Amino acid sequence: MKDKGMEEFLQVLGTRIRDLRNRKGYSIEKLAHEAGLHPTYLGEIERAVVNPSIISLKKIADALKIPLSQIFEFDKDEKEKIIESIEMELRGMDEKKIDVVKAVIKGLKEL
């Protein structure tokens, strides 16, 4: 049986993983496939039904193309969430697209 503190932690962790997955635009099935996990297990992690291993969390982080530590960054203000979302988008882009984004940002800073 889990203690109350552990239950709360697992709920926050599951919500965090769901938020990261949604920001990436992944369904449970897609993230599970990318991470090499069963979709049911991933759903159980998100709903705080199970206590995932660090290996499973690493697989999830790798599939989301984020550092494992980012999964545990729970308390973020809105600006940080936006920056994180942009970072996740950038990780999926090639260098040419990243250069375009940098040029746009530079132009916005000069306004």
Per-residue pLDDT of the chain (111 residues; tens, 9 = 90+): 457 778 888 988 999 999 999 999 999 999 999 999 999 999 999 999 999 999 999 999 999 999 999 998 877 666 677 777 788 788 888 999 999 988 888 888 887
For the chain, the C-alpha Rg in angstroms (whole number) is: 16
Supply the pLDDT for residue 13: 92
CA distances from 72 to 11, 42, 76, 77 (A): 12, 16, 11, 14
| Lookup: tokens for 55 | 């290996």
Residues in contact with 101: Cβ distance below 8 Å, sequence separation at least 6, in sequence order? 90, 93
